[in-house]
Amino acid sequence: AQSVTQLGSHVSVSEGALVLLRCNYSSSVPPYLFWYVQYPNQGLQLLLKYTSAATLVKGINGFEAEFKKSETSFHLTKPSAHMSDAAEYFCAVSDKARGYQKVTFGTGTKLQVIP
Amino acid sequence: DTAVSQTPKYLVTQMGNDKSIKCEQNLGHDTMYWYKQDSKKFLKIMFSYNNKELIINETVPNRFSPKSPDKAHLNLHINSLELGDSAVYFCASSPDGPTTFIYGYTFGSGTRLTVV
């Protein structure tokens, strides 16, 4: 069965500092991987996705993630944090289970940006 | 021009009541979903419909009944509400079919259900 682990339920960075949010997955087949962002009182918005093309994926708002098969990781990074990046971030993995695609979300990482 | 819209946004109700949440998408997507987000922000899929056909029915109490009158709508009816049903319920849609998942979801803004 597939699973997603997000290390750190809370991450704090200073404005302008590097953002690194960690995601490790387990899957029996090559998965599709996603990062979503949730701002307060809103739905989730797709940041970026890996679907077996380039291993370095660029998304919206300056975020990017690198798929590393050997490490079963898909960490999310941004070179310089902005106050508007404060939100909850979810990693998700999709693979086939019982004949259909099933998506499993991680438990989320809340990013705090300190001025 | 909202892509996935849910109503109501907030719902406060007493235990034992029956309530419905409505969802509509204007993206032309074939597949729609209901997710439950608990107080710890954990997201769990409840149901998915592809072209009005039920595809995924996770281990959800049968007090929860989805209905898809057409592929643009997926409603959720909940009977005999319990305290543990309090959560945020998200509707989502995707152009993917049941055996692919390339494009990802478009989520609605959620319905915060509070059972008192």
A44 touches chain B (CB under 8 A): yes
Backbone torsions φ then ψ of A75, nearest 5 degrees: -75, 145
CB contact under 8 A, A45 and B107: yes
Bridge-based pairing state of the strands B10-13 and B111-115:
parallel
CB contact under 8 A, B55 and A51: no
Report whether A91 contacts A35 (CB < 8 A): yes
Q: Structure tokens of A87? A: 């939100």
CB contact under 8 A, A103 and B105: yes
Residue the block writes with tokens 């592929």: B71
The residues facing B75 across adjacent strands are B67
Residue the block writes with tokens 């960490």: A75
- Write out chain B residues lying below 8 Å of A51, CB-based: 102
CA-based nearest distance A23→chain B, Å: 15
CA-based nearest distance A17→chain B, Å: 26
The residues facing A21 across adjacent strands are A76
Q: At residue A26, does pLDDT exceed 80?
A: yes
**Highest mean pLDDT out of A10-24, B1-15, B38-52:** A10-24
A22 touches chain B (CB under 8 A): no
pLDDT tens figures, B51-93: 888 887 787 899 999 999 999 999 999 999 999 999 999 999 9
- Among the partner-chain residues B56, B102, B106, the one whose CB lies closest to the CB of A100 is B56
Q: How confident is the model at residue A94 (pLDDT cuts 50, 70, 90)?
A: confident
Q: Which of A33, A66, A80 is nearest to B101 (CA)?
A: A33
pLDDT tens figures, B52-63: 888 877 878 999
Find the helix or strand (DSSP H, E) in which A68 lies. Answer: strand A64-68
